Structures are given as structure tokens and as C-alpha cells.
Structure 1
């Protein structure tokens, strides 16, 4: 997916960030660079997050109409699906708008995986003593088990918060509610640096979503006064 030039640029960017962070983080400077890199990626994707927030607000406001349709066509699932699709189209929202930020972040996730799956300049760096190229599943039972378990536990905790917030939004499709938990098995079978990327990205999303929803709600109130 990524050619040598892209990997080379990403490698240089990470090491440049690590050099800048070295006075503060020492041997953890590359791990810090992964966090900063992830934050920059998420900053670029804020417009997609805002689009997702607008869709969530719109779905919440459609909830009464959706419930009426479900009661009316409870015995006709095909008609219900058609009516729900038509309702969302008329409202100008997608039932799966929340997938966009996750899809947009996949190339950067794969890039991080490629870098720490075979780049010798990066594999020797550590996070609290644990090599950034170490896979948690392979490292369990070894000297780095506490670090690996702590990272997986943090990712699972953030995923749980993300699930609860998504479930609190009326009319959210089940795949979008459960999507945050996909980060847990991914982190378990990927290099430690990928887990650090996932933790940073999901924590950013968890913190960002309420802010963007408030902005989207304020905008919707201006467009449709009285709601």
C-alpha cells in the first residue's frame, strides 16, 4: 500500500520529532513521536469528526420519527428498511456517517504498522523498556508484560467510554456503537507502537466528540430555530 518514498518520509518525520522530544523524554522519545504524529493526523481529520457530529445530532432529532416508523412497520422489516433509508436521505444524512473518520485513519494506522514491523532504526526504541516493535500477544509472560497489559487495558477502557457515548445517541447503528472495541484485538496482535497510535487516536476521539457535538447542536439550532 505504501511505497518506499512514503515510508522513508514517515521514517524521517518520526525521527525528527523524536530528536525534538529527546531532551524531555529520553529513551521514550520515539514513543512520544508516535503520539505527536497521531495527534497531528487527528487534527487534520477534525472536519470529518465534525461531519460525524452533525450526523449524530441529526439522528438524535430524527429519533421520534424513526420510532414511529418502527411501530408502524414492525411486521414488515423490508418496508421499514426502505422507509428508514428514505427518511435519512430526505434529511441529508447517512446512517453510517460515523465510519468516515475511522476509514480516513486506516492509511496512517497501516503506515505505523509498516514502520514498526521492519524498520531497524525504529525497532530498537522502547516504551517504558518495552520494544516498540513487540507484539503484546507474543510478549505476554515476559519481562514487559505489565507494560503490554497496561496499554491493552487503557485501550479497552477508552473503547468502553466511546461505546457508551455512541450508544447514548439515539438511532446510532449497532456497528458504529461497537466499532471502538475493534481497537483492542488490533492492538493485541500489532506492534506496541500501533497500540500507542490506537490509544492516542481513540482517546482523541473520546475527548473531541462531545465538543464537536456541542458545536453541531449549536449550528443546528441556528438553522432550525426552536429545536
Structure 2
């Protein structure tokens, strides 16, 4: 990709900066040199072992290798995880259903399956009590009253990075509006060597093609989408 000023966008995964071919210095680019790993619901870079369960956070993990910028798109394929362990389908007590789950790829991987239902926790296993609930109960019993958390103060001219999936652009609240952001509202889907987005039902085989799938929704830029959830 070339801009009107003749600068090129670096195609190395994890960089995405603009550079000039005449001033492309060694160590000016920070990128991921290895392919991504997808297993057990997590995402990991094979080159530096950085991992995340959230896909937008995974794409934001800083690169681990330095070198020159490159305008050539790397050929990157998702590598199989050498230590990936597939969860076993839960025993439901129905021999026919258990046999069907054992033969189903999605059930063996622990994903929701429309044919056999979602994996449910086994009976008798108590749900963990959130730490916030325990802390709140302890504070109330001891008579401690916590101070209200002050509301955040934003600088409308401060530059922020949109964390919506598929966006990643820099914006200011002053220029933000309801059609400023192009993003994917749905989760990423990785299944049977295909990668895609549930929201727009587009799936491809190659990881670099997955990164090029155009967003399907418009909205406000959001630097903290988890806060708005």
C-alpha cells in the first residue's frame, strides 16, 4: 500500500507503520516473526510465547523481532500447537449421545455444537464465587464503607487507539461520531482450519487473508470496549 507522499505501509505482522524505502533503517521495524497458534480457546505467538484469550488484545501484543520494514506481505500460516490438548466430551449418561459427542469434532474441542448441545459443567461441581462478591460481603460484615470511585475525566483532544475488533485506528473524542469506526461486532471463529467472523459469516483458510476481511459494522470508536459491555 502506497500513500500520496510515496510512503509505504509495512506488511510485517505486528508493525503496520508507514515508512520510506529511501530511509528504511535496520531495527526500525518491530514485528512477529513466527506464525500464530490457536488452541484451548487461546491465541499465542509461536515466536515469543505471548498469549491472550481476547482476539483484539492478541493482535495488539507487541512484536518481538526487529529488522527493516517490508512492503511484501509475509506468507503466514497458523501453526499447529505441539502441546494442544483437546477437552473430552462430558459424560451425559446417555450412551448414544455420548458416542455422538465423541465422534463430533466440535464437541471434542469443547465448542458449542448445535447438533449435540453446549458442553455443560458436570453435576456436583460448585461454581466459583467471584472474588468481588467475597470482598463485598467481608466489607459489609466488618462495617467498612468504600469510597465511591471518581468518574473518569477525558481530554477530548487526546489521541486514543480504538480497540474494536477490526479497527485499531487512532482517534480523538472531539472527532468521534457514530460512523467513525468500521469494526466486527461479532467474535472471531476458528474451526476446522478456517478463520472468520461470526458477525458477517466470512471464513478463509489463511491467517493473512483473515486479517484482510473488511469490517461489517459502523459505530463510535471505543478505546475501552469492555467498559461499555
Range into which the TM-score falls when normalised by the shorter chain:
under 0.3
Q: Which has the higher contact order (CA 8 A, sep 6+)?
A: 1
Scaled by the length of structure 1, the TM-score of the pair is 0.21
Q: Please identify the structure whose Cα radius of gyration is greater.
A: 2
Scaled by the length of structure 2, the TM-score of the pair is 0.21
Please state which structure has a larger fraction of its residues in strand. 2
